[in-house]
Structure 1
Amino acid sequence: MVTEVPDRAVLPATSRWRAMAGWKKASLALVLLFAVLCAGLAVLGFGLKHRYESRVQREDILGQGAGPRDERRWDSGPLNLLLLGSDSRDGEPDQALYPGERSDTIMLVHINAKREAATVVSIPRDSYVDVPASGQSWPGGPNKINAAFAFGGAALTAETVARLAGVPLDGVLVANFAAVRKLVDAVDGVNVCLPYTVKSSDTGVTWPAGCHDLDGKAADDLMRQRHGVPGGDFGRIHDQQLVVRALAERVSTTGLLTKPARLDRVLTTAAESLIVDRDLDLGDLAFALRRLRPEAVQFVTVPFSDANLQTPAGSAVRLDEARAPELFAALREDRMAQWLVANPQTPPAN
């Protein structure tokens, strides 16, 4: 049993590392992977539950609409987690997602029934979909999917995604992209290889096609770009995925898992900026991920047919009426391995 430690305290390196079971160590790289996907803040799978869970903010996100927790899915079935992220800048009044703000990163993470592979499905934030009604703030109807957060917070976003994909949600995590800078710096930077040239509209920095060593500030800058990257918002999604992979590689090659004091700083940064659904048990999720390795995580974007759809809500993205339902069906039926073979992913085009 792991002994709970006082707030802000750090266990001696040897005792904390020995306290972790092997499967908890194996889960850690994926935890950091999720951390960057959700703005660097998903500490959910780490084995020292008592130390970090007290730092995580809890909210009733899934609520009654999700129904009771499905124990059969947690025991032996596939799992679906929703990761929501904001690209709010440091210094802005909100340090998480609040009513009135839109979610700029929406990712559905599917973990297969064998718990040996995961697929991270990015949903373009401007996808024009049906957003359910939310009290007096929104009567319901078609709108951009990221508007769901402005109308009803994470709860309405979760309901919108669940209806769109037709899958049950087993947990929701909400975070802010601002923390990615601290996480990347905590591992002494990452090496990101770009298949195209990206120019920052914020700082004027240009990253030619090729590999680049990035500190936290540069990685944060890269992942925010929409206008100076091929594919616009789809290019930004791809760049976020590249940084995720780079961080996973950095963790595995620098031996961060064997440096508990340094690792503690990374996970503390993540935990203190994370909002998790009230009913998501972090220990159960860690156990479910015990066989999953970073190299078994695949990234896809929901297929679309029109990236400049004109709507009453402004220019939006029309999801492909044939291929998007096929992807969602593969999620429901736990057939993502076959779908990925039939639908190889390529970098965004200009």
Structure 2
Amino acid sequence: MIFAVVAGVGLRALTERYDRSVARQSLLDPAARRANGTASGPLNFLLVGSDQRPNASDSDARSDTIVIVHVPDGLRQAYLISVPRDLYVAIPPTATYPGGDDKINSAFEHGGGGQGGTRLLSATLSQLTGIRFDGAALIDFSGFEKVIDLVDGVRMCVDEPVRSIHTGTVFPVGCQQMDGARALDYARQRYGLPGGDFDRQRHQQQLLRAIMDRVAGADLLTSPLKFDRLIRAIGSAFTVDSNGAPIEDLVFGLRHLTAGSLVGVQLPSHAKDIDGISYVLLDPTADVLFRAVREAGMAHWVRDNPSWINRL
């Protein structure tokens, strides 16, 4: 989505720089992958951000962020469907994991993190939702920080005071400018918030919109050096699986996406303790949401379910 915003600056230069900087891996399980890679809609992408710490192995990481991005036919709208990390799901077996019921973010760990973890996570989601994916991206948070810093930070509006369990930073209520480290720290908090992880998901969706706002407003045309650094930072922040579709076609196809075209969706679900462990269980209307994604009915679903739409 960020690439779509800067595509107008120069598509050829964009794709050449991207091709040299981005890491490519097969991130989607065959069972979760749409048969033929395409750059025309509707499109479904899987975004995964891990909580891997510096110098830690892939197997020590869990998926801190899971977002299904649905782009309907016409490619002028994008629905961000955040998946709760504690969602109780059936995880398929692998060669090294027997399968079983667990939190969905454990699928990333059971798959070994990294490429294998994303593949198992995609298989778990596809089995749950019936959705096949047109691509996936594994997000490196340290690279994401650089992207935010290169556009001189983002403006985030804090609606509930929160203290970071990671850094001790206190985020007061009100709109404020945040650099990369501060913005990511804020967007990863869930403890102390009224909605817990659901509030964290909304903040992450708001951060994606804020980044797109800043990238669109960055003076890239008059600063080739800054443009080059931004493209390289974007490339280094993501490991990508485009499902065989040429990157140039995807960038060109998504060029009309803007920050205002993003719609934040909370997956219909609720928290519940099972044997002393906190899980999130799907509500019945979640199946209607999944069908809307599969059958190009998201506009109607959003209209009929305003309580599950996040204000971005």
Alpha-carbon distance between aligned partners in 1 of 2:2 and 2:181, rounded to the nearest angstrom? 28
Q: Superposed, which structure 2 residues align to 1:1-350 within 5 Å?
A: 27-28=4-5, 48-66=14-32, 69-70=35-36, 74=38, 76-89=40-53, 91-94=54-57, 98-137=58-97, 139-152=98-111, 153-256=117-220, 258-277=222-241, 279-280=243-244, 281-305=246-270, 307-310=271-274, 314-320=277-283, 322-344=284-306, 345=308
Residues 26 and 292 of structure 1 are in contact (CA less than 8 Å); yes or no, is this contact kept in structure 2?
no
2:216 alignment partner, SS class: helix
Larger deviation, residues 271-280 vs 215-224:
271-280
Alpha-carbon distance between aligned partners in 2 of 1:115 and 1:108, rounded to the nearest angstrom? 15
Give the fraction of aligned pairs with identical amino acids, expressed as a percent. Answer: 38
Aligned residues: 302
Alpha-carbon distance between aligned partners in 2 of 1:66 and 1:200, rounded to the nearest angstrom? 35
Instruction: Using structure 2 for the length normalisation, give the TM-score.
Output: 0.87
Alpha-carbon distance between aligned partners in 2 of 1:46 and 1:308, rounded to the nearest angstrom? 50
2:200 alignment partner, SS class: helix
Structure 1 unaligned blocks of 5 or more:
1-23, 32-44
The alpha-carbon deviation at position 184 of structure 1 amounts to 1.6
Alpha-carbon distance between aligned partners in 2 of 1:213 and 1:68, rounded to the nearest angstrom? 40
Structure 1 residues 122-143: Cα deviation after superposition (integer angstroms, max 9, x where no partner) = 0001100111111232x22221
Structure 2 unaligned blocks of 5 or more:
112-116
Change over 3 Å in CA distance of 1:338–1:30 after alignment to 2: farther
1:99 alignment partner, SS class: helix
Given residue 283 of structure 1, which amino acid in structure 2 is its aligned partner?
E
Change over 3 Å in CA distance of 1:63–1:316 after alignment to 2: closer
Instruction: Using structure 1 for the length normalisation, give the TM-score.
Output: 0.78
The alpha-carbon deviation at position 248 of structure 1 amounts to 2.1
Structure 1 residues 33-86: Cα deviation after superposition (integer angstroms, max 9, x where no partner) = xxxxxxxxxxxx986223222322222222543467426xx2644110111101
Residues 49 and 282 of structure 1 are in contact (CA less than 8 Å); yes or no, is this contact kept in structure 2?
yes
